[in-house]
Structures are given as structure tokens and as C-alpha cells.
Structure 1
Amino acid sequence: MKRKLSWLLTLGLVLSMFLAACSGGGDDAEQPADEGKDQAAEENVEQVFNLLNGDTIPSMDPSMATDEYGFQFLGATMEGLYRLDANAEPAEGIAKTHSVSEDGLTWTFELREDAKWENGDPVTAHDFVYAWQRAVNPDTGSEYGPYMMGGVIKNATQVNTGEAALEDLGVKADGDYKLVVELENPTPYFHSLTTFGTFLPLNQKFVESQGDNFATSTETLLANGPFKLENWTSTASQWNLVKNETYWDAATVELEKMTYQVSKDPTTAVRLYEEGTVDRVGLSSDLVDQYSTHDDYVITPETSVFYLKFNQTRNEALANVNIRSAIARAFNKQDLVDEILNNGSIVADGLVPADFVNIPGTENDFRETSGALSAHNVEEAQAFWEKGLEELGTDSVEIEFLGGDTETSKVMNEYLANQLQTNLPGLKVTLKQVPFEQRLDLDTAMDYDIQFAGWGPDYLDPYTFLSLWITDGGNNKMGYSNAKYDELLNESATTLARDNDARYENFLEAEKILFEDAAIAPIYQRAMAQLVAPKVEGVFVNPFGATYEYKWSKAVSVE
């Protein structure tokens, strides 16, 4: 979900909005005749986007969502205290204003009184209390609740482990329209955190009335955001987002509808774009060269990082640091981004992405400062491999490689498997390629050896990446543990919470430990190569959280 990037697409869209705002003005009689025609034409443009999605939506339950697709559609249909604007700054949502105590531990949010749920119920502070308690309630089984709130909201960890009652969670309603949040420690990024999907409110009466069926279909969802889902079930391959007329700021929302269909084949997707059936499509590497001179071609950098996860509990070989170190260095990442992706993605030799955050008080990028910690080097890989095999007392290793089942994923999985088997004698790789939702389930169950995975930041701070690998963390799911690493991350969130310089020193040291341990093998930092129809205006690409923001978007005339 994150960064200070030169967002090409976002910048273009922001500029187009700026120019539109600065043109015209005055009485109609003073406007040039052509301008009046343009405005009339735009009024007649059907406010519909036709879009594709890479897979089904695994979950629309804010407490249970863990993936890009879930958070994307939660962000469109629901609203929390704040939502991200064009500049990736928190803009008014259900909260109008907030204040922070001098010690940084108490945040008080003043809520608007005109926000309603789709069924007409008011959105109140009680809805936030219920949702946040539900997210950390051990009976719920949420992964993101404990991960996002633990160490941040007072007593969240204790509630989740059963050591404290739900009522002890540091969130209280002071009447219907004032929310008081107590933090465990001062949290520099808490304002941006309130925009994230796990912190969305829930209507308790509605959720409990749906029981186990909650968030499994259109009929069992309740929107309070700019749009609502139509014709959706948890297994649907087609669905719509339609304007939510009960949204408190519905007057700002110009889009009436977005249609979605699942497409995993890039060639099919491009054909749909050329036919005019869809308005935006991602390009696979084999299509980039063909369309790179197209008028609609756009590259958008991201701060999502992809890597191999090593499950140290399922396969004895992967519990060996030398075997992991060998695998991490044995594949050519530059060829992968140049030939297989070919979409502007860049090689990743660390975890925290480039152009994400600077070292405090400087203009030095964190990634540049930390350096390349896990670079491709076949000679080093083979030296680690030989040492690891000797320690294991064997001359061969078999591993299962878990990856996605899209066309691009399959090509990438096969490339990585081939590179590993070619450069590490005695290694046999078996591919297991499954749909996205199944991969998430296998990850949760730790039912894999090596997994192709990725992470997009949830807020603007290195902690969103580095906290993934804390011992027994909700997203660790690979048995990695290092006491010094845990200590550095714990200090950054507690005793050093108000000392940003010291926090970043800890982050730099922790990242080095992560790669000395070869806990993961970074591959690339993603960019998107897309064709975007000229009619699509005002879609913001968020630096964290939901990938796209559509509240301020519209379809414009291209005549």
C-alpha cells in the first residue's frame, strides 16, 4: 500500500485537474464559444469506467482482508476516519478534525454527523470501536488486526492474546461523534494509518445479523463510502461498483459505475482494450515493445517489492542459512525485469523500496543509504551452496516452489526455477502454481517451501516492511526468528518512538541483519506498464493502501 515517488500517471492526472480548475471562470457570456461546447460535451459523457481485475476478491471483510484486491474494493466502498487525496495526504473522511495530546499518546477525532451507512443508519464512533475490537478479538481470527494494531493501539496485543478484555482496547466512543484513541506508544505514522482498510468502521447490528455470511455477497455488505458493490459474490468473475447515493460527499463523486471482469491472460486483456471494451489494461513484457509508442501508454512506478519467502520449518534444507543465501544470489534479476517484466520494474537488492522514504533530516533515500544487500552473484551463490550441502550431508536438495497462475506469473516462476536448477547443481525445483486466493491460504497454513510473494506498504514508514519478519508476526509465516532483529524493531516502536533519527538507525541495522540471515530473497520493485484510455481522468495511484482512488475521478470527452 507509502512513498514520495514521481508518480507519472498521478502527476499527469493531477495536472489535468489543475488546468481544468484554472480555466474558464466568470459569466457564461464571457466564455469562449468552444469552451461552452466542451463543457456541454463533458456533461453528456457516460460516467462509466470498464476495468479488469487480475483475480476474484478473496475477502470484503475489513477484519479479514490481507491482499491488494480486498483493500482496493474496501477502499472504494467504505470510508474510515480519513482517505488519501491526490497528494497522498489524509483528507477528511468520517473524521472532520483531530487533536493529539502533548505526549503523543491520545488522539481525539471529531466525526461528522452527516455520514450514513447504505441502509440509512448514521456512522458513529461506536462503529469504529466495534470494528477495531473485532479486528483484534482472537475469536475473529484476523491476521491484519493484530499486525496493524499490535504495539500501536493500547492493549491490542493483550486483547488478541486473551490477556485483556475487548473493552480494554484503547478506543472509546465519547458520545456518538467523538472517538478517543489511546496509543501504546507515540506512533509517527498513525495519521496515515487511519486511512488503511483494517481501521474501517463496521455497523455492528448489520454484521451480527449476517453471521457467517457477512461480506460474502452484495446483499451481505453495507457501504459507507463513495461506491457500493453490485452483482458480487465471493466467487464472482464479474461485478460492478456503482455510485453510493447515501455517501456523505456523494455530490463530489461523478462516476456512476465501474464494471469489472477477471482476466488473467494479458493478450486477452489487450484485445479487450483495443476493442474498446475496457478502459485500462496492464501490459506483459511481450506486449510492452509493441505498445510502448502507443498514445495511451503509461508507466507508473510503485513501491511494492517482490521476493522469495523461505519456509524454514517445512524443508530441512531451507533451515540452513547457506542454502538460503545461495538461492538468494543464484538468479539473474536484471534479466527478469528487462526481459520477463519489461514494464519499468527495477531490481530489488533489499526490502525497503527505492524512492519511498528519506533518512530523517536529509534528502538521502533509505534504499540508497542501506545499499545492495542481496545482489545476484552466481560465484558467491555456488560457494554458499557447496557449504550448505556439506553441512546437510547431501549432494542434492528438492524444493517446492509456490507461485501464481497468471500467464506472467507462470513465465516468471519457470524462469526462476530454471535459473536455480542451472546455477545450483543438485537442486530440483517442483513448481506449484495456484490462484491468488489459494496461495494466500497456503501461506497462512505455512504449506510451502519457497513462495513468490510481495508487499505493498500500508503507511509511510520503513516499519511497514521491516515489521513483517518479527518473530511469530502475523505476516511472517516462514518461521524466521532473530532476537536482535526483534529488539531493534521493538525499540523503534517503543523507547525510540519519538526519536526519528534513532529509529532509522535501527531500521538500517535491522535490514542488514535480515539479509545476513538470508530470510528472504528480494527480486524486483514493481512498476506498471499500462494502456489507459484518454477518457479516464482523476484516478490517483495511492502510495499505500488501496492501489487506486476513484472518489475524484470522472470520464471525460475525448472528441
Structure 2
Amino acid sequence: MIVTLIILGACSNQEKEESSNTTDSQNEKKVVNISAPGVIPSLSPTVADNDFSFTIINQVFEGLYRLNKEGEPELALAAEEPKVSKDNKVYTFKIRKDAKWSNGTPVTAHDFEYAWKKAVNPETGAAYGPQFEEIVANASEILKGEKPVKSLGVEALDDHTLKVTLENPIPFFKELLTTAIFFPQPQEFIEKQDGKYASDSKHTLFNGPFVLADWNGTDQSWTYKKNEKYWDKEAVNVDEIHVNVVKDTATAVSLYQQGKLDRVNLTGEFVDKYRSNDEYHTFLTGATSYIKMNQGKDGKKTNLANLNIRKAMIMAIDKDKIVNSILNNGSIVANGNVPKGLSENPKTGEDFRAENGDLTQYDPEKAKEHWEQGLKELGKEKLEIKLISSDSGTSKQLAENIKYQLEKNLSGLTLTIKNLTPKASIAANVGQNYEMIMTGWNGDYHDPLTYLNLFITDSPGNHTGYSNKEYDRLVLGAKGSMANEPQKRWNAMLKAERMLIEESAVIIPLYQNGAAFLQKDYLKTFVTYKVGADNYKWIDVEK
């Protein structure tokens, strides 16, 4: 942390000495320095599709609710709790009258209506558009092109009154409203940007705790500056947060030791080196990392459309080696898609992960059987497959280890690794331009649905070619029609995950992400959640 003290000029040295004790607190500029894994992939709440973007968006935009320090939704742009109809389907929100965009114009209910309708418009192609599906009235039909966008169950009754009509009562609706796709957007400003909205600082308006300053869209660094137009600016403690792209852990640690970074994530050998350090901390997140296998698109199947080949891949990786040797940061082996500690059985209180158990296992002999059967079904003796990975140091190590294990256990397999920047890797994932890709997911709310919803047919979050009508029925039912039958809903989600992993082998679960990090003692209230984007609103420095 670099703290610069600016002492106002005085008529004499004596005056400076006398006033120094009273001016320090008034003139101290609070600055925080952190790092990022790559350039910003997307800044638009409507089209963003990855955790990295959501973390940035969460600092500069805001919706009706924001997660508080404990991870519970609290009022943000909603001035008060909404009026709710007796059937729990109609919510009427009052928008804060002091909510403003960074250019001083008011945030209105019309901004919400515009943003939500844009998100479900099929022409937008918003990756998170399906978040509205089976939740906001008519969203499902609109996304399929069966109803007009104007029929979405959201209406600005006036500048400060927003009416939302749901398909079914949703127990996690408030938490869902803290996510980026439900944030408002300034229609009049956007339509004047000639398609350049959210491409750089000049073409973006912000309404969150910070503004993104001097960002040109491809920078290797950027700055969050306190938003003086923010309705709750008094709660924002720091003036600036400086961010620099640092991909290598060794470099990041060196910068930390030099006082140029205030917080740095650790992996591998660095965990052992700093484990006894007073500034060392760990945290088990709700993010799961896995490998997607592309079964094909546009009617053209790949070799990975073969179920035996996919099952062989899953069984041929010893994940204990990954979490204990390479990561060594508190991550734990994942043998399912839904993480540990996310949600509990409404009747018994048992954790979802514990109840559904291990849906994959390391079994090289069985992997070999599936592999040989798969090759026989394909009429081939060997396969060459490309694996896409991020170009960060840890991702490269993981990819190399996975290559070694798969080629060792599956005779005839040649795995070629292609390392891409985070932005390029995300583009390959979204465009389904890969054979195998290392990726993952951190949920948006504390419910298994936020992980299972990704793999319904034609979901913009799927990108695997997987399609199963029964899986769709279970997941969409859990999202909508089963909302008032908690135990039935719970059982449907348990079954859906078993179908996804155990039966269909759609992804290769690797690990539930742990976070080991060094953080300066003077850095306070750096809020992270098990599920959801980090929150810098209350971050502070105390020296």
C-alpha cells in the first residue's frame, strides 16, 4: 500500500508543524494496489459472461440490491423493501431519488426496464439472458422468440417506481438481483455511443461505488476512483484502487514484498514458503474448476461426442496431485459440479455435495476400458486432442500435469496444449471453439441451480453440445414450477447433477477453488464471498 500525504502549504514552518496533526486525516489520500490476471474481457453488465468481468462490474455498477459484508442482500438502488403481492409474484420497487449516473443524470426505473428487456432480447445474445428464464414473466418465451420483448414482466410505472412480475415465487430472488445482468443501463447515453458503449471509460457511465478511470479497453492497468456521484459515497473509504495485470505468481510476490501490491494470491511452492507468515490467509470459495469437452455444434459431432471417451477422460486424472502438489492453496478435490458448503437439504440439513457424494473417481484401469471401447466405437487407434488453458503460470502448470496424466493412462492419446490470454480463452469457450478447455464457474447465489442452470439445452453458458430433455425438465422445474415444493425441488437438482456428471460425463470436475493469499495488515474490509463477485465498496487502509 502506498499512502501519499499531502500537506497544505502554510505561511511558515511553525504553522506547518502546528497544523500537521489536524490536517493529516483531512488530506491523506487512500490508495490500494492489487493485481489482475489479464485485461478486462467485458465491462457491459448486459453481455459480460465471466467471473473476472463480474468482479470489475460489481465495483462500478449497482442494482436494486448489493451483498453486504456478510454476503446477504441489502438495499442499494431500491429505496425500501418492495411491496409484494399475496401470491408473491408481483414486486413493486421504489428507486432511490438520490441515485445518479457518473455524469450526474438520475438512475430511473426506466433504466431497469430498458436493461432487462435488452438482456432477454434474442438479438442481444446476452450470455446471462437465461437468468430471467422461468423467473421473470414471459422471459422464457421471449428468449425463444415466441413472444415480443415488450411483454417481459418489468415495467417502469414512473421514474421512481418499478413493477416486476414473476412466473413463480422465487426464494432467492433478492440475491439474484445483486448480479450484473439485473443492473440498470442508461438507454439515452448508450444509444448515442455508436456501438462503443462499455468499450472504454469515455463511452461508459457508472453508478456504483467507483468509476473506471482512464481505461482505453485494452490496458494492462486501470484505476478505480471513488465515484463522487454515488448515493452512498460516504461509505466508500478509499480514493483510488490501482490494478495492474500480473500473470506470474513469483512476480506478484516480489511486487508485494516491495510494497507495490497490498494483496497477492499464492499457489504451489509459495504457499509453503509463506504459510507461517502473519499476513498469510486462506479461504475456500464456492468456485469450481473443470474441463469442458466439446461434443460438437451445428450438427457436426466431435470425437468427444463418444460417451466412453469422455468417461475415460474423467477417470484418468488423479486430482489429489493437482490440489496438493500444484495448487497447494486450500483447494479441495471436486467430484461433482456443485461445491461443498453451498446449500443444505431443506428437510435434513445435509449439505448438497455430501448428499450427492462423489460422482467421479480416479480409476486408471476402468479409464483404460472405456478408452479402448471408445476408440473401437470410433474406428480409431489413436486420438489427437487440443486442450485450451489460460496463459497464467498456475494454469500452465495444471495443463501440463493433466497432459502428462491423460497421455500416461490413455494409450494412443496425444494432448496438445494451447495457452491463451484470459480474454481469448473466454472467447474460445463462449464461441465453443475448442475441443477441451480448462474453465470453471463461481455461482451467483447460494443455490445448486446457479451451477446446474449452465448446462440446459441451448443455454449460452453451455457451450458443450450437451442436450438432454430430462435434464432440462429437472433444472427448469427447480427454477420455476417447483419453487413452492422445496423437497421436490431439492431432489430434482440432486438427480440433475447425477445425470450431468455420472451418467453423461459432460465435464471433468477438477477442484473447488481455495484461495491462499498474503494481505497487508493495514488493508481492511476487503470483502470476498463464497459465491458472488468480490466487493471493494468498504475496502479501507489503516496505517
**Normalising TM by the smaller chain, what interval?**
over 0.9
Look up the SS of the partner of 1:543 in the other structure.
Answer: coil
* CA displacement at 1:44 relative to structure 2: 6.9
Match of 1:113 in 2: 97
For the pair 1:126 / 2:113, whether they are aligned, the reply is: no
Q: Could you tell me how far 1:166 is from its partner in structure 2?
A: 2.2
| 1:195 has 2:173 as partner | no
Secondary structure of 1:518's aligned partner: coil
In the alignment, what sits opposite 2:445?
459
Which residue identity is paired with 1:536? L
Structure 2: which amino acid aligns with 1:310?
M
1:81 aligns with 64
Task: Tell which deviates more after alignment, 164-173 or 237-246.
Answer: 164-173
Q: Structure 1: where are the runs of 5+ without partners?
A: 1-36
User: Which amino acid is 2:210 matched to?
Assistant: F
Summarize the alignment of residues 225-304 of structure 1 with structure 2, pairs less than 5 Å apart.
225-304=208-287
Kindly indicate whether the alpha-carbon contact (under 8 Å) linking 2:284 and 2:514 is maintained by their aligned counterparts in 1: yes
Tell me the distance in 2 between the aligned counterparts of 1:508 and 1:434: 34
Q: Which amino acid in the other structure matches residue 111 of structure 1?
A: I
Contact 1:116 1:246 survives alignment (8 Å): yes
Whether 2:199 is the aligned partner of 1:212: answer no
Per-residue deviation, 1:394: 2.0
After alignment, is 271-280 or 128-137 more displaced?
128-137
TM-score, normalised via structure 2 length = 0.93
- Note the alpha carbon deviations across 1:445-482, whole angstroms, 9 max, x for none: 21111111100001111111111111111111110012
Pair 1:423 & 2:406 matched: no
- Quick one: which of 498, 501, 509 aligns to 1:522? 509
Determine which of 23, 33, 38 is the counterpart of 1:55.
38
Output aligned runs, 1:297-316, within 5 Å: 297-313=280-296, 316=302
> What is the root-mean-square deviation of aligned Cα atoms in Å?
1.7
Q: Provide the C-alpha distance between the structure 1 equivalents of 2:445 and 2:516, rounded to a whole number of angstroms.
A: 24
Q: Deviation of residue 487 (structure 1)?
A: 1.7
Greater Cα shift, 309-318 or 367-376: 309-318
Deviation at 1:211, TM superposition (A): 2.2
Q: Partner residue of 2:205?
A: 222
CA distance in 1, matches of 2:308, 2:123: 39
Amino acid corresponding to residue 186 of structure 2 in structure 1: N
Q: Please say if 1:541 is aligned against 2:528.
A: yes
CA contact (8 A) 1:315 1:399 kept: no
SS in 1 for 2:88: coil
Q: 1:42 to 1:518 in 2, by over 3 A?
A: farther
Q: 1:120 to 1:316 in 2, by over 3 A?
A: closer
* 1:241-284 Cα deviation digits (max 9, x unpaired): 00001111111111111001101011111110000011001112
Is residue 268–residue 325 contact of structure 2 (8 Å, CA) maintained in 1?
yes
In structure 2, the partner of 1:168 is 151
Report the counterpart of residue 7 of structure 2 in structure 1.
none
Q: Aligned ranges for residues 16-55 of structure 1 at < 5 Å? A: 46-55=29-38
Contact 2:65 2:73 in 1 (8 A): yes
Q: Distance in 1 between matches of 2:266 and 2:303?
A: 37
1:556 and 2:542 matched: yes
Measured against aligned partners, the alpha-carbon deviations of 1:39-61 in whole angstroms (never above 9, x if no partner) come to 99877754211110111111111
Secondary structure in structure 2 of the residue aligned to 1:205:
helix
1:439 aligns with 425
Mapped to 1, the partners of 2:391 and 2:373 lie a distance apart of: 34
Q: How far 1:99 moved relative to its partner?
A: 2.6
Q: Is the 8 A contact 1:215 1:221 kept in 2?
A: yes
CA distance in 1 between counterparts of 2:292 and 2:21 reads 53
1:488-507: CA deviation from partner (whole Å, max 9, x where unpaired): 11222233121111100001
Listed one character per residue, the Cα deviations across residues 30-76 of structure 1 (whole Å, up to 9, x for unaligned) are xxxxxxx9999877754211110111111111111111121111111
The corresponding residue for 1:17 is none
Whether contact under 8 Å (1:45, 1:556) holds in the other structure is no
Find the partner of 2:138 among 139, 149, 155: 155
1:483-498 equivalence runs, <5 A: 483-498=469-484
Answering whether residue 375 of structure 2 is matched by residue 389 of structure 1, we say yes
1: CA distance between counterparts of 2:74 and 2:360? 38
From 312, 320, 323, the counterpart of 1:334: 320
Give the superposition deviation at 1:521: 0.9
Structure 1 segments of 4+ aligned residues over 4 angstroms from their partners: 37-45
Contact 1:42 1:556 in 2 (8 A): no
Aligned match of 1:6? none
For the Cα contact (< 8 Å) 2:319–2:333, is it kept in 1?
Answer: yes
State the one-letter code of the partner of 2:126.
Answer: S
Q: Secondary structure at the match of 1:268?
A: helix
1:3 maps to none
What is the DSSP-based 3-state SS (H/G/I as helix, E as strand, rest coil) of the residue aligned with 1:540? coil
| 2:362 paired residue number | 376
Aligned to 1:91: 74
Q: Helix, strand or coil for the counterpart of 2:369? A: helix
Please give the secondary structure, in 2, of the residue aligned with 1:322.
helix
Report the Cα distance in structure 2 between the residues aligned to 1:448 and 1:331, rounded to whole angstroms. 20
Instruction: Name the CA distance, whole Å, in 1 between partners of 2:25 and 2:317.
Output: 51
Q: In the aligned structure 2, how far is the partner of 1:261 from the partner of 1:112?
A: 34
| Aligned length in residues | 519
Contact 2:332 2:512 in 1 (8 A): yes
